[in-house]
Structure 1
């Protein structure tokens, strides 16, 4: 099996990376029939692993037996390689959720990432951090034959139509600097964080299929990673 290793990650916490990694893992597994493993590198908090436990607690014991669950595993710098080796070649996607800063876990984990998706929104510090993060990875990973990174894909998270002109201005600035932003955006909707951020159930069928729906973003991730 041609395993792809991907991640939504950013240099700062609060950019929505964990929410997006969970949404990607669950929907790639449940809605697109992909074999997935989600590796939680947020040592020692392990927020994704704990989220899976909470999600299961909300389901009756009888219904748990009917759930086909993708694995959510806890890892750190010392165990990441063994998890990669365990699942590589037997799943379609290995998705790694990193801590919210450029620490040792992220640097070591980035050695395995093939396609990185970078969420950010309209905040001056967030924009500056994303640009710096992109350029750092471009210089040290993307343009390095010893690394496996094949693409960097910034995208607007918490996109608001009322601020479309501001988002467009940021997009133009990034593109002039050689940092193209994905056309697909993730809207600023509470449902993404409260309902769709679920490790058991995907986005309901028929929902989020519009041009600005989150399923369009997921489909673009599929296309880029197949690249």
Structure 2
């Protein structure tokens, strides 16, 4: 396998504008890690974006361990891959400096709780995407997390954070009216929702949560329908 040469890239992309993003949430189980992996893999392979995925979930480092398992399962290959790095509160800044201006996206995967890693790590993130599903406790937790980010990051004059974006994960068409009601309620409370949603698909977790293999292009627009979501992430990140 080959990881693209950063020494070579620094020369080629001296004017590259790096965006630091994260799918994250205050509670575990909202799908953030699965979506960070899917975003990284598909932005790299399908959109030809230079990506590094930073795992801040210390000490579990589930994304970093997932990359190792994926490599073992695939075996020897010359397929290009993007880096997956482990980070701590102490090493995150140096990692960001190492990759900044050499990649299009730095994607940070945080723990599933508002601990020191997340609180300090969010100081570097420009665009946050918060997944949640149709559950009363999940909705309440998401609203509180959004307001926490708004109060402590968005309203800070020295902020790096540019946007916080809510979106439905595990969206079900049979419950479209309930989802619409929640969307309108949050909008009235000043919490804007993304246009696109991520559908309820077991295949995301079982087959496409892979740090090496993207979603097949033949599936991207049809059965799986993640392309529009990824394109909205790209569009928001440009701001």
Tell me, yes or no, whether TM beats 0.5: yes
Q: Residues 208, 218 of structure 1: CA spacing in aligned structure 2 closer, same or farther, 3 A cutoff?
A: same
How far has the Cα of 1:196 moved from its partner?
1.1
1:104 corresponds to 2:116: yes
Tell me, in whole angstroms, the C-alpha distance in 2 between the residues paired with 1:127 and 1:178.
14
* Equivalent position of 1:16 in the other structure: 31
Runs of 4+ residues deviating >4 angstroms: none
How do 1:44-193 residues align onto structure 2 when only pairs under 5 Å count? 44-61=59-76, 64=77, 66-193=78-205
Aligned partners of 1:185 and 1:212 also within 8 Å: no
Alpha-carbon deviations, 1:147-182, whole Å to 9, x = none?
110001000000011111111110010000010111
* Equivalent position of 1:7 in the other structure: 22
Question: What is the number of equivalent residue pairs in this alignment?
Answer: 224
3-state secondary structure, aligned to 1:111: helix
TM-score normalised by L of structure 2:
0.92
Aligned partners of 1:210 and 1:216 also within 8 Å: no
Alpha-carbon deviations, 1:15-57, whole Å to 9, x = none?
0000000000000100000110000000000000000011111
Aligned partners of 2:201 and 2:224 also within 8 Å: no
3-state secondary structure, aligned to 1:206: helix
Q: Residues 224, 157 of structure 1: CA spacing in aligned structure 2 closer, same or farther, 3 A cutoff?
A: same
Tell me, in whole angstroms, the C-alpha distance in 2 between the residues paired with 1:35 and 1:159.
29
> Can you give the 5+ residue segments of structure 2 that lack an aligned partner in the other structure?
1-15
Tell me, in whole angstroms, the C-alpha distance in 1 between the residues paired with 2:79 and 2:182.
42
Tell me, in whole angstroms, the C-alpha distance in 1 between the residues paired with 2:231 and 2:34.
17
> Can you give the 5+ residue segments of structure 1 that lack an aligned partner in the other structure?
none
Aligned partners of 1:21 and 1:97 also within 8 Å: yes
TM-score normalised by L of structure 1:
0.97
How far has the Cα of 1:206 moved from its partner?
2.0
